[in-house]
Amino acid sequence: MMLIGKLDSVTSDSIFITLAIRKALSFLRNCEFQQLANGRHEIDGDNIFMIISEYQTTQPKNKKAEQHRKYIDIHYLISGKEMIRIGFENSKNIPNGTYNPENDCAMFTKVEDEVFIPMLPGMYIVLFPEEIHRPGLHYMGKPQKVRKAVVKLSMEMLK
């Protein structure tokens, strides 16, 4: 049930977005990213936190896909451009090891039938546990320097 859009187009009464996700998007909308260092930033303890990172995009063959169980990921592109590949649980997917509960991550070397999502500055994508994702890929085949915020929203917040 992935959600995707421009952050400035989300309103507080968006009927398809839960209160917890609206809270996270509101935090992103009001954030002064130029004043924040890369790394982890607390929003509501382990329930909601944000990780800011900068990196160079890469080719899909150099990046494993990931999946989470305890947290929803909200990726927000601060600067640069990237492609994210999205796939779903499928018996043809090839895992790379087992799920690691400490970092809430399962990795995959191959994901069947991935779709490509272009991400531009100001865009967000909400990824739920059933959505396997491979972020940080070259945009239109070209390397990009990206600065991104990923809000981790505990599934417990949706209950």
What pLDDT is stored for residue 12 in this prediction?
61
Residue 134 has pLDDT above 90, yes or no: yes
In angstroms, the CA 105 to CA 27 distance is: 24
- Domain range summary for the chain, segments of one domain joined by +: 3-158
In angstroms, the CA 6 to CA 119 distance is: 10
H helices, E strands: number in the chain: 1, 12
**pLDDT (average), residues 26-37:** 95
> Which H or E run contains 92?
none
* Domain formed by 3-158, architecture: Sandwich (2.60)
**pLDDT (average), residues 101-105:** 96
**What would the pLDDT profile of 53-94 be if each residue is shown by its tens digit?**
999 999 999 999 999 999 999 999 999 999 999 999 999 999
